[in-house]
Chain A
Amino acid sequence: NAGVTQTPKFQVLKTGQSMTLQCAQDMNHNSMYWYRQDPGMGLRLIYYSASEGTTDKGEVPNGYNVSRLNKREFSLRLESAAPSQTSVYFCASRQPGQVIYGYTFGSGTRLTVV
């Protein structure tokens, strides 16, 4: 099925470890996003990529880096994980100009930093 695929679904890290969250979409969307969701809250934007080759900071970028590898893939990297980064991470994509279709979200990555 077409959509947004995130890996891994679950991850436990020790403080200071690094990891990369992977995201891929097969809808030929230009824009991709990384959000985090904390308990009792909506999603907050970490980074976004308006098109292949561009990335920009969102609301809460500190402690993260991103790479728009190609049109399909947008990865999020934690260089030195901290307990405050324990969260659920969602990747999303959208085709600008086709607002009627809205955003498509991946199923999320549940990250725990101990």
Chain B
Amino acid sequence: KNQVEQSPQSLIILEGKNCTLQCNYTVSPFSNLRWYKQDTGRGPVSLTIMTFSENTKSNGRYTATLDADTKQSSLHITASQLSDSASYICVVIPYNTDKLIFGTGTRLQVFP
């Protein structure tokens, strides 16, 4: 069982709509949780970084939330744009280590 699981695996939405991506993790304790956006053929780009004590972090139209009790994080995208079409990867860094544990990602497609 993966230590970081994401859902849904893929998602199709219309431009202008909102969506929420989920990340469930079993890594504990952890130092921080990150969301990355990866465009096709490119490397991942960091969207948000939250420490274990933070509940929410925003970056423009992207808002990440963290519930350490249920070990869940979500990434909410507001007013989606065609350029939001990408894979979104949840990453958890265990406490006191340098290693990143990656989820398998959610593939988002935004259609006009």
State yes or no: do A and B come from one complex: no
Q: CB within 8 Å of B: which residues of A? A: none
Q: CB within 8 Å of A: which residues of B? A: none
